[in-house]
Amino acid sequence: MIKTQLLLTILAVFFFSNCEKEKTNDAGSLSEVINAYRVEKGLSEISISTSLTTVAEAHVKDLVENQPNGGNCNLHSWSDNGDWSACCYTSDHAQAQCMWNKPSELTSYKGNGYEISAWSGDSITANQALTMWQGSEGHHNVILNKDIWANSEWNAIGSAIYKGYAVVWFGKEIDTKK
């Protein structure tokens, strides 16, 4: 009886510690999943950027805590509740520059950032986010440098997942911050 209880306790600790590990590593795996997909399609991997990861982490937290994506504002929007300028990004892309400036506004990154975002209720995995973006021509084009992104070379990538939101930031400049 004691051996059975000990075994069950060990299994429970192992199971729950691995579940937590998956949750905390999911953002890193998002960049890895995208890079693996790019390689599968004959493209090069993109270097992980500390700066773009910082921007991604700030943005998913803002999306969860402040919900700037209401009314005409979509998931690329930023609230006025942080160390950044507020931005209502609309489907006509009229305010695109306010989003593109976020990496240089929040970090030492020298260049614009281009974001793709996804939302799926209370939780989302890296694979679920990639599948959603594969089903959206515009997002898919960013990932694979197609269409209007064909002449863009991604040299930096940062990502974050938090409470149902997933964002990935792409940049043309190499991130010199280590």
pLDDT at 171: 97
Tokens coding 157: 């990538």
Q: What's the average model confidence in pLDDT over 130-150?
A: 96
In angstroms, the CA 104 to CA 98 distance is 11
Structure tokens at 39: 């390689």
Q: pLDDT-based confidence at 20, cuts 50/70/90?
A: very low
Read off the pLDDT of residues 102-130 as tens digits, 9 standing for 90 and up.
999 999 999 999 999 999 988 999 999 99
Residues 34, 36, 37: CA angle, nearest 5 degrees: 65
Could you give the CA distance from residue 26 to residue 4 in angstroms, rounded to a whole number? Answer: 33
- Taking the model in full, what pTM does it have? 0.82
pLDDT tens, position by position, 77-90: 999 999 999 999 99
Across 50-75, average pLDDT: 92
Say which residues have a Cβ less than 8 Å from residue 105's Cβ, sequence separation at least 6: 84, 85
The number of C-alpha atoms within 13 Å of 31 and in the hemisphere containing its C-beta is 24
